[in-house]
Amino acid sequence: MDRALPSPGDVVAGKYRIERVAGEGGMGIVFEAHHLLFNERVALKVLFAESATKDSAIERFAREVQAAARIKSPHVAHVMDAGALENGLPFLAMEFLNGQDLGELLEKRKGALPVEEAANYILQALEAVGQAHALGIIHRDLKPPNLFVTELPDGSHVLKILDFGISKVMTAKAQRRDKILTGGGAAVLGSPAYMSPEQLRDASRIDHRADIWSLGVVMYELISGVLPFDADGVGELFAAILERDPVPLREKNPVAPEGIEAIVARCLKRNPDDRFQSAGEFAMALAPFAAEEWRPIADRLAKLEVRASSMREIETPAPGMHPADILRRSVETSSFVRPTNPEAPKKGSNRLLMGIGFASLLATVVVGVFAMASIRKTNAGGAPLGAAAGGPSAVTVVPFAVTTTVDTTSGAPSASASADIEVEDNPASGPALRPRLSPSQKKPVRPKFLHTPD
């Protein structure tokens, strides 16, 4: 295992105790962890150190974080937290799911699923996909391994979509970032067997109808037990998707209703304009074949899509504040990427720290002058400061806030602290400012400062 990765028993980010490895992919690893504050299991996804140094991996990880957090659907795994571990590795904490993905379910069944069960799963996926599309998010990698059937505490089963790592956000700024991520269209992002023709040509120039195609492929596979396009090599597979119509569904599963065959065939039209034009339209056609409990999804999607046209699209944050940039900054300053000497002050920061120190000193002097002026004015008016006029000298303690100081040996700013200044009223010489004395010491009590690392 990567040396930078946590091990079972480790507590990371101050609250997640690693229990075991739950899964592993090309870019990172998923741990089952225990949230010490919530007292519940979570799935902790952590990037490999090697992946964390690649801009494309950071970008995809940030996309997954942001997309999964924005889609408020019971059919998307709930995001609880995200950030960087103590060593700089980006992490994503999500709800822990019990169950199996549709790929595992197909393998376990050794064949096709009943039409109603397949329709139930696709309808649930459509509800999540429809919400994503309303937010301007395209998944781009819908396939059985990313469609997870989880068991709820009451014993019921719900499908949840996973892995928005190569999702596409349809904004002008996001389009530019997507060009960088895909290499200007040269790279193929996704799983070829489930990719639409337009996605094979250029993954950065697609719209939400590419997800409709992918779900059509999944549905064909669930009902027939085989893929609509299959070949010995990737080149032949690409050619089949780009040039040939799939074998009609009922030739693979004669008991499938004609209506289901027509729905799947429409999803797999090579021209996007010939497909269902939205998740809601797809769901409305599919609902009669699903169980009654899932049919209301079609109505909810129809209402959502009516509102979606008036929803303001959330723009990608300005450069320097994009989630990927935030994660990248954590990685660049971490020890496993670039060792640093915490005791050595950074060049370029000393002048700023000295400026802060001088500003604090100036503030101290100004406050002191105003205090002196106020005291002299009060004394000139004959009002006693502590004792009767003409009596022994009186002492009044004036709180004096010291907000910032600079350690001349390290140049580091201190944390805020506070001290007291005594104002002594001497009938002979007038009031004077001096540090308060400790009853047991002859020297002034100086405030203790806690230095923060640079």
**Active site residue ranges:** 141
Q: What whole-number distance in Å separates Cα of residue 156 and Cα of residue 158?
A: 7
Write the CA distances from 350 to 183, 353, 393, 450, 451, integer angstroms.
40, 5, 44, 18, 15
438 and 446 in contact (C-beta within 8 Å)?
no
Q: Which amino acid is at 352?
A: L
List the 147-151 sheet strands across, edge first. 99-101, 147-151, 157-161
Task: State the greatest distance between any 2 C-alpha atoms of the chain, in Å, as a whole number.
Answer: 113
42 and 96 in contact (C-beta within 8 Å)?
yes
| Pick from 373, 449, 444: nearest CA to 415 | 449
In sequence order, the 6+-apart residues with CB closer than 8 A to the CB of 147 are 101, 102, 121, 125, 159, 160, 161, 162, 218
- Whose tokens are 């065959």? That residue is 261
205 and 198 in contact (C-beta within 8 Å)?
yes
Q: Strand ranges (DSSP E) for 220-311?
A: none
Q: What whole-number distance in Å separates Cα of residue 193 and Cα of residue 210?
A: 13
- Whose tokens are 């996605």? That residue is 199
Q: Which amino acid is at 394?
A: A
454 and 412 in contact (C-beta within 8 Å)?
yes
- Whose tokens are 């979509």? That residue is 161
Q: What is the DSSP letter of 345?
A: P
221 and 106 in contact (C-beta within 8 Å)?
yes
Q: What whole-number distance in Å separates Cα of residue 34 and Cα of residue 17?
A: 5
Q: Which two tokens stand for residue 348?
A: 């370029």
400 and 420 in contact (C-beta within 8 Å)?
yes
Dihedral sign for Cα 262, 263, 268, 271, please.
Answer: positive
Q: Which two tokens stand for residue 120?
A: 């139930």
